[in-house]
């Protein structure tokens, strides 16, 4: 299910199909990387919103999707979104879901009032959930998804233990950790998440960029 998924760093992912190239929160891409048919942005923080990379990956046909506060800062063909919506952009169907903090020490980092998002994409008969930056939210546990890409770094999002409890409640076909090894959290937490999330299958991707943390 991950044969066409590339992890660049943090929460930066590329999902490539025979007909579409989709980037989510691109950061750490290279000059030679494929142009995007669709770029999805989850929120406004620098490790998820890199305007220079968006510009480099875009051509005249690229469609952009972003929360309203981010969309207002972008140029081009931009679709503003809020949580709880369904869209089809660049031939890709997706839903937007909430992404925010509930832990008391993180409330100011990703406030619910910002209306930032995660995405559930329908691609080639499979559903891929990219959580963005969020804590474990009970309202997300009912999502039906084949692949759940979830942050595990702690500090700004749920940590690996919280994320493991979250995916065990959600029961995706496969869980993929992200948002660790860069900015926050040791790369070793990927394996800790894998063990903690059992019996949910977990695949820890190898990032294109070198880990920053130790």
Kindly list the structural domains of the chain, giving each domain's residue range(s) and its CATH number in brackets, ordered by start.
5-196 (3.60.15.10)
Query: For 24-47, what is each residue's pLDDT tens digit?
Result: 999 999 999 999 999 999 999 999
Confidence of residue 214 (pLDDT cuts 50, 70, 90): confident
Q: Give the C-alpha separation, 16 to 19, whole Å.
A: 8
Query: For 66-117, what is each residue's pLDDT tens digit?
Result: 999 999 999 999 999 999 999 999 999 999 999 999 999 999 999 999 999 9
Residue 208: burial class (beta carbons within 10 Å; 0-12, 13-18, 19+): middle
Q: Give the C-alpha separation, 177 to 33, whole Å.
A: 23
Q: What is the pLDDT of residue 1?
A: 84
Nearest to 149 by CA among 20, 62, 19, 22: 22
């Amino acid at each position: 299910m991950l044969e066409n998924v590339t992890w660049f760093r943090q929460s930066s992912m590329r999902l490539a199909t025979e007909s579409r190239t989709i980037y989510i929160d691109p950061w750490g891409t290279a000059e030679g990387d494929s142009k995007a048919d669709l770029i999805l942005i989850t929120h406004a923080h620098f490790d998820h919103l890199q305007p220079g990379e968006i510009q480099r990956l875009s051509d005249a046909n690229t469609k952009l999707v972003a929360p309203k506060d981010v969309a207002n800062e972008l140029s081009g063909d931009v679709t503003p979104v809020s949580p709880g919506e369904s869209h089809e952009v660049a031939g890709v169907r997706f839903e937007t879901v909430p992404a925010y903090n509930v832990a008391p020490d993180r409330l100011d980092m990703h406030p619910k009032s910002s209306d930032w998002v995660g995405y559930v994409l329908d691609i080639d008969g499979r559903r891929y959930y990219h959580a963005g930056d969020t804590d474990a939210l009970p309202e997300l546990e009912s999502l039906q998804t084949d692949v759940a890409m979830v942050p595990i770094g702690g500090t700004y999002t749920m940590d690996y233990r919280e994320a493991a409890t979250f995916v065990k409640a959600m029961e995706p076909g496969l869980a993929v950790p992200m948002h660790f090894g860069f900015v926050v959290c040791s790369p070793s937490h990927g394996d800790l998440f894998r063990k903690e999330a059992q019996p949910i299958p977990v695949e820890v991707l190898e990032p294109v960029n070198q880990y920053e943390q130790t």
